Structure 1
Amino acid sequence: MNALPEGVAAYARTATFSARTIPENLRRSHRTKAGTWAKIVVLEGKLRYRVLEPEIREFELSPDCPGVVEPKVRHEVEAVGDVRFYVEFHR
């Protein structure tokens, strides 16, 4: 998984979600806008992060292993048991 590029800065973040409150639009295929990166920060538990293009890749995120979402790349998330996380947007 790639790291956030140098020079991008956080400008927004979501609420903190749990396994029960993950919005449906995060559970199914979606993408960020051009120029927008995201960092998935897991506070507790584990989250499955699936990148859907150019090929399918799957990562298990945890408090020690955040996820990085590249601009315009289709992806989705899935709770692995109890989890608490938020998404931070960068540009």
Structure 2
Amino acid sequence: MDQPIRPYRSTPVFDQTTLPRALRQEHSTKAGVWGVIRIHSGRLQIAYPDDSIKAVLDPEHPGLVQPEQKHFVTPLGPMQMQIDFYDRLPASDAH
């Protein structure tokens, strides 16, 4: 039986004040790295400029970032979030 895919690294929990400026500006993950943005409380907007897509993330709706996919996030009021990084596509319940 396959082992569940686990993140190899996770960020600290950020809130609307501590969220780094680098995450608020357009950036991308490295080749071979998937990111899952998990919202602990509140809401966060994610934008994927190359695809002209924006989505609102909340505790029930995490966000998936594919390898090398450009994106940036914007807090929508008070929130807490964390990013898990994977070396392969996480299970569908992770996004």
Shared fold by TM > 0.5? yes
Structure with greater helix share of residues:
2
Q: AA paired with 1:22?
A: L
1:12 aligns with 2:12: no
Within the candidate set 33, 46, 69, 2:30 is matched to 33
Q: SS state of the match for residue 22, structure 1?
A: coil
What is the RMSD of the two structures over their aligned residues, measured on CA atoms?
A: 1.1
Within the candidate set 84, 87, 91, 2:83 is matched to 87
Measured in 2, the distance between the counterparts of 1:36 and 1:8 equals 13
Within the candidate set 18, 21, 26, 1:21 is matched to 18
2:73 aligns with 77
Normalization by structure 2: what TM-score?
0.85
Unmatched runs of 5 consecutive residues or more in structure 1: 1-6
Q: Which has the larger radius of gyration?
A: 2
Unmatched runs of 5 consecutive residues or more in structure 2: 88-95
Normalization by structure 1: what TM-score?
0.88
